[in-house]
Amino acid sequence: MAMRGLAALMAMAMVVAGPAVAEPGEVALERTVSDADRGLRAIIRYRPEVMTGGREEIEAEDGSVAYLYWDGLMGQFSAEIIEGQIAGGDAEAFLREAVIAVCPSVEQSVLATAPVQVDGRFLRIFAQCLDVDADYH
């Protein structure tokens, strides 16, 4: 079913808009995708440089704890569901399939393990679109 869904996404992906070069944080690629099997339509957007960061806890041998804070820029795909509803694991699968459909050059090993953020009708995942990045940088 996943391949059928992916084929449906790829068949229905349409160019909506997207500048060839974007400023940091701006959309560099935008596509509308449809998945007839799930009854969904979504706008997929890719931003090559989105600020991200985190904190790592490091425990020393003596039991003391130190924190390492980091930040950087990463590519991010987002989906805005504009028709239909989706939740849970199906939402994650849809986003991963849609990303592959609109950006075949995405590193699929990274895409497979990156966490999906779900916020209502918005889905987000950090991954790089290598073809867009080549033109962007």
Distance of CA 33 to the CA centre of its chain: 14
Residue 5: its pLDDT value, please? 52
pLDDT score of 97:
95
Distances (CA, A) of 123 to 58, 78, 117, 134, 135: 31, 5, 6, 25, 25
pLDDT at 17: 39
Print pLDDT tens along the chain (137 aa): 444 554 444 444 443 334 444 455 688 899 999 999 999 999 999 999 888 777 889 999 999 999 888 788 889 999 999 999 988 888 999 999 999 999 999 999 999 999 999 999 999 999 999 888 887 66
